[in-house]
């Protein structure tokens, strides 16, 4: 997998909280990423779009709003981009997605 999240599992109290994770690019090319969630009512992610250079990392903040306990998913889509690209949304608006990482989100009660 070109991109990975560290720690790979996301577990948070259903009452809410903020988690710090690291997105890592294990590839040899610069990537744009887009993060989506199956539950936008209870989860917020920053940044939603961004760039990550080859062999680099980027901080990801996951915020869980109070709600019922349960299982959800977060999908990190990625696409290779040239060094001159300045808009991280552009590859996804053009339909370019080279892969994705699915992360389980667990809210415990």
CATH number (domain holding residue 102): 2.60.40.10
Task: Mark the ranges of the chain whose per-residue pLDDT is less than 70.
Answer: 1
Q: What is the 3-state secondary structure (H, E, C) of 43-63?
A: EEEECCEEEECCCCEEEEEEE
pLDDT score at 23: 97
Give the domain range for residue 75. 3-108
pLDDT score at 109: 86
The model's pTM:
0.93
pLDDT tens sequence across 3-34: 999 988 899 999 999 999 999 999 999 999 99
3-state secondary structure of 3: strand
Task: Measure the CA–CA gap between 91 and 60, rounded to whole angstroms.
Answer: 20
Considering its fold, how many domains does the chain have in total?
1
How open is the CA angle 89-45-15, to the nearest 5 degrees?
160
């Amino acid at each position: 997998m070109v991109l990975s999240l560290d720690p790979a599992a996301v577990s948070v109290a259903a009452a809410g909280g903020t988690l710090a994770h690291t997105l890592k690019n294990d590839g040899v090319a610069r990537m744009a990423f887009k993060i989506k969630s199956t539950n936008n009512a209870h989860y917020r992610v920053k940044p939603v779009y961004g760039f990550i250079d080859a062999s680099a990392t980027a901080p990801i903040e996951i915020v869980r709003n109070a709600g019922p306990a349960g299982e959800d998913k977060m999908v990190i889509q990625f696409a290779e981009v040239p060094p001159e690209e300045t808009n991280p949304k552009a590859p996804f608006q053009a339909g370019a997605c080279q892969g994705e990482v699915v992360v389980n989100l667990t809210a415990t009660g």
